[in-house]
Structure 1
Amino acid sequence: MDVQISNRQSIIQIVKAASSDIIGTLGSDTFSFALGLMLLHRTHSAVSFGLGSIIYPMIGLLLVMPIGNLVDRRRHKPLILISKFIVISALILYAFVTTRVRDPMLLAVLLMVVTASCDKVTNTTFTASVHELVNPDHVKTLATIEQAATAGIQLLAPVLAAMLYALIGFEGIVRVEIVAEVSTWLIASSMRFHPLKAIASEEPVVPKGQWNQFKVGLLYIRNHFTLLSVVTMGIFLNFLLASIDVGLPYAIVQTRHLGSDRLSWVLSAFSGGVLLGNLILSILPKFKNVLLAVLKLSMIIGSLIAIIGLCFIVPLATQTLIVGLIIIALVIGIVLAFVNTPMSVYMQMTVPTQLLGRVGSTFSTLMQLALPLGTVVYGICFQHLPASPVYFVTGIVIVGYIGLNLMVVQKHYRTKQSA
């Protein structure tokens, strides 16, 4: 019989998990920003700030199968502690050699490969460990608090990184990141994992071979209508939402020449919306039908992106345009929180524990790959077309696609009820 996790134990675990997320995300985001600044100063390469967006998805794709299998076959706490220890060791080594090498770009790439690999292990393992940390009543609370903490840190990290870079330099920030990683290791080591008893019927025979083991998770996704719909829609939205990351900087700074400060206000509104959305979500009851709720909310996102296109078509005054974009960005962020967190909670509550590593690894990797692919496609679009039609068409495509899916899902549920 599985060990019952009390409400008090769950709350303690949530506090520790949130503390780890805040320290870890703040440290890593600050370090990544400072690393980009250092490389820009030393190499004068425009790719400096884009290394992470290239390396992390590639590592995720290469390791999606072995890490998914590893997490589902090994105890979770040792995996987390070992992966974090490797990151700490790599950072300490990097601190010693970074000022002594002639090719800082190569060294940075090697460090990112190590940290991306370890982060993939850590994140997949934590996703698969939710039921070992808190009881079912606190799964949603844990997910919303973690999302809110991450969004809040993303608002602060660039400002903090720029300030620290000026005060203590890049070498000082490396030391700060080492302290942050050691702190998260200590927090993880203090967390109590309650391994769940395996259910024989979930996977009676362990397949031989990496691919055969991983295929079990893929088949589970394919054979469960709601989960497959959530995964497919998530990939689609992540691809199209790249239009915001690529298009707004180009449209605001390059086309309208409104300055990077105004761009920062708009982009910060997205993170602020995600933070606010998760705070609201934490006090709301669970959605009765996650898929239908997520589909209807996604229609709002599509409509708002189409409105962004209209904002660039209509000759608005500068102040009116920026205020309008900030409000739209804030609302999109709130709605995204209402989309992403319930999808994550649904996966954690419905996927068998023995498959969470493989299913979670597949889901996160596909999400990561969709964004850089969308970045390439939209980079070409915004380079050759005005922002207004690109956004308007993107919004219409989202509304049309989600609308079709909504009809399919409603038909599926009606058929299921009448059967």
Structure 2
Amino acid sequence: MDETLKLKKATQHLWTFTLSKLISTFGVSVFTFGISFYILSITGSATSFALVLICSILPRVILAPFAGYAADKYSKKTIVIVAQICSVVAVAALLTVSMTIGISLIAIYLTEIVLSITSLFAGVTFSSSIANLVDSERIQKAMSFNQMSMSIASIGGPAVGGLLFGLVSIEMFLIINMVSYFIAVLLEATMDFNLFSKKVVSNEVVETKETMLQNMKAGIAYLKQHPILKVVVWVALVINFFFGAFTVGYAYILVDGLKVESAHFGITEGALSVGMLITSIYLSTRKEIKFPLLVVKRGILIMGLLMGLATLPLMIELPYIGIVGFYIGLMLSFGICLIFVNTPIGVMMQKRIDEEFRGRVFGLLETMSMSLLPLSMVLFGFLFDIVPAEYILISSSVIMIAAVVYMLRPVIIRKAHPEMDDKSVQTNIVEPVIASK
């Protein structure tokens, strides 16, 4: 294909991908919130509500490596489209059950499991395909648009889910979700998942037959052979672990310690998504970050400081409005830092991981991070019951900062960005970190 046509197609992909991801992510967010609310309204049971979350998380933890294997082994376009069609069928099946014999908890749980699996396969495949869908110069823009979609869904999904639940029947609620998934399928069907593929196809090379297990092990071995990628994965896991600590501690401090009203607590949490959205829009208008690992290091260090700073109102008396305003600013800053960490990491992985292994590495990262987050929340939930919150968060802040300073020490930064001079690496002062327009 002519280069001009490829770039034109990449531009189409950029917007189609964003719209498709927004619709499907928004649909999942609306469905999960609306169904969870429905379960609470008919059962009043926290256990039944918790089971929805387990049905959403557990399949992703178990099946992520298989999703990565499939993304590397089979047609990416086929996987994405089949996954979305299965989402339509799953919701249609729940709708049929609701209209015939009446909706049941078992039917809801089974639907949530199917949607979790289809979302996983579509998500991992899309994540491993971004470098194939757009040109190298616009990978950061694509990653930023991806974050924008998730931020909008996290802000608007619960609001729309709650609104629909109050205004329409459960059947109409399910029909709206089916339509959203179907529109996503139509959009994804127009995309060429091999537009910028760098796979070399040769008739002279006979592919070695591997079992699924061998294929997955090859992905782990590939990661071990690339020190910088291995560091990036470990950094991502550290963020996930301590983000669990922050999530539990933040809710515990505001609700139990400072008695913040639920409406105001929701506003402070919404500030996180607003910060992520604003920063995603900003990065989508900028050229690629020149030294991503350095930006990641700075972002995590600031997040560590913010985590410790979250305990300030426990130690210094503030008026109620001051407490709410403080946490709105804190969460807004946290959201900004999250994007300055997630986007450069994502771009680095897209560019440094060979296409043949990208799915398996993303699948492995999904499993490790998804399994680590619930473990972190359980562990810190237990600790917050027996140890003062300020001690836990300040200790976590110090450990997180120390871990990142070690993992992203100057020698690692230098290996990742050999074009940086030694003085810049040692002082962490490099201008400009983000290339100008």
Amino acid at match of 2:199: A
- Structure 2 CA distance for aligned equivalents of residues 228 and 340 of structure 1: 16
- Structure 1 CA distance for aligned equivalents of residues 395 and 199 of structure 2: 48
Shift of 1:220: 1.4
Is the Cα contact below 8 Å between 1:248 and 1:263 reproduced in 2?
no
Q: Quick one: structure 1 residues 7 and 415, their matched pair in 2 at CA, closer, same or farther if it must change by over 3 Å?
A: closer
Query: Which residue does 1:113 correspond to in 2?
Result: 113
- Structure 2 CA distance for aligned equivalents of residues 396 and 179 of structure 1: 47
Q: Quick one: structure 1 residues 318 and 135, their matched pair in 2 at CA, closer, same or farther if it must change by over 3 Å?
A: same
Shift of 1:70: 1.6
Query: Which residue does 1:413 correspond to in 2?
Result: 415
| Residue range with higher mean Cα deviation, 121-130 or 59-68 | 59-68
Is the Cα contact below 8 Å between 2:25 and 2:153 reproduced in 1?
yes
Q: Quick one: structure 1 residues 232 and 101, their matched pair in 2 at CA, closer, same or farther if it must change by over 3 Å?
A: farther
- Structure 2 CA distance for aligned equivalents of residues 415 and 98 of structure 1: 57
- Structure 1 CA distance for aligned equivalents of residues 126 and 312 of structure 2: 42
Of the three residues 347, 350, 365, the one matched with 2:349 is 347
Of the three residues 288, 292, 295, the one matched with 2:294 is 292
- Structure 2 CA distance for aligned equivalents of residues 341 and 101 of structure 1: 46
- Structure 2 CA distance for aligned equivalents of residues 342 and 178 of structure 1: 34
Is the Cα contact below 8 Å between 1:43 and 1:105 reproduced in 2?
no
Query: Which residue does 2:6 correspond to in 1?
Result: 6
Q: Quick one: structure 1 residues 36 and 200, their matched pair in 2 at CA, closer, same or farther if it must change by over 3 Å?
A: same
Amino acid at match of 1:144: S
Shift of 1:406: 2.9
- Structure 2 CA distance for aligned equivalents of residues 298 and 111 of structure 1: 37
- Structure 2 CA distance for aligned equivalents of residues 267 and 400 of structure 1: 27
Matched, 1:176 2:176: yes
Is the Cα contact below 8 Å between 1:239 and 1:370 reproduced in 2?
yes
Matches within 5 A, 1:15-414: 15-98=15-98, 104-194=104-194, 196=197, 198-199=199-200, 206=208, 208-407=210-409, 409-410=411-412, 413=415
Amino acid at match of 2:174: V
- Structure 2 CA distance for aligned equivalents of residues 362 and 14 of structure 1: 26
Unaligned runs of 5+ in 1: none
Is the Cα contact below 8 Å between 2:293 and 2:413 reproduced in 1?
no
- Structure 2 CA distance for aligned equivalents of residues 99 and 43 of structure 1: 20
- CA offsets, 1:62-100, max 9 Å, x none? 223332222111111111111111111111011111366
| Residue range with higher mean Cα deviation, 113-122 or 174-183 | 113-122
**SS of equivalent residue, structure 1 residue 193:** coil
- Structure 2 CA distance for aligned equivalents of residues 5 and 388 of structure 1: 57
* Aligned pairs, number: 417
- CA offsets, 1:17-38, max 9 Å, x none? 1111221122211111110011
**What TM-score does the superposition give when structure 1 sets the normalisation length?**
0.92
Q: Quick one: structure 1 residues 74 and 247, their matched pair in 2 at CA, closer, same or farther if it must change by over 3 Å?
A: same
Shift of 1:343: 0.7
Shift of 1:353: 1.0
Q: Quick one: structure 1 residues 305 and 415, their matched pair in 2 at CA, closer, same or farther if it must change by over 3 Å?
A: closer
RMSD of equivalent CA atoms: 2.6
Is the Cα contact below 8 Å between 1:273 and 1:333 reproduced in 2?
yes
Shift of 1:241: 0.7
Unaligned runs of 5+ in 2: 422-437
Is the Cα contact below 8 Å between 2:66 and 2:363 reproduced in 1?
no
Is the Cα contact below 8 Å between 1:305 and 1:392 reproduced in 2?
yes
**What TM-score does the superposition give when structure 2 sets the normalisation length?**
0.89
Shift of 1:311: 2.7
Is the Cα contact below 8 Å between 2:228 and 2:416 reproduced in 1?
no
| Residue range with higher mean Cα deviation, 15-24 or 178-187 | 15-24
Identity %: 23
| Residue range with higher mean Cα deviation, 179-188 or 17-26 | 17-26
